[in-house]
Amino acid sequence: MSQPRLHDDQLPVTAELVRQLLAAQVPALADEPIRRIRSTGTVNALFRVGDGALARLPIMADWSDPDAEAATLARVVPHLSVRVPDVRHVGLPGAGYPQRWLLLEWIDGETVAPGTGGTELADDLAGFLRELWTVPTAGARAGYRVGLRRHDAAVRESLAAASDLVDVAALTRRWDSILETASWGRPPRWTHSDLLAGNVLLDGAGRLTAVLDWESAGVGDPACDLMAAWSMLDRAGRERMRQVLDLDDDTWTRGSGWALLQAAIALPYYRDTNPGLVAHSLHVLGELTREADAPG
Q: Is residue 5 part of a domain?
A: no
Cα radius of gyration (the chain): 19
244 and 160 housed in the same domain: yes
The last residue of one of the domains, among 90, 107, 124, is 107
Q: Is residue 7 part of a domain?
A: no
152 and 277 housed in the same domain: yes
Does residue 108 have a pLDDT over 90?
Answer: yes
Full-model pTM:
0.92
Contacts for 210 with CB less than 8 Å, ≥ 6 apart? 82, 83, 84, 85, 107, 109, 200, 201
66 and 182 housed in the same domain: no
**DSSP 3-state assignment of 296?**
coil
CATH of residue 29:
3.30.200.20
Q: Is residue 27 part of a domain?
A: yes
What would the pLDDT profile of 20-66 be if each residue is shown by its tens digit? 999 999 999 999 999 999 887 778 899 999 999 999 999 887 777 88
What is the domain range of residue 249? 111-293
76 and 141 housed in the same domain: no
131 and 96 housed in the same domain: no
Across 107-133, average pLDDT: 95
Domain count within the chain: 2
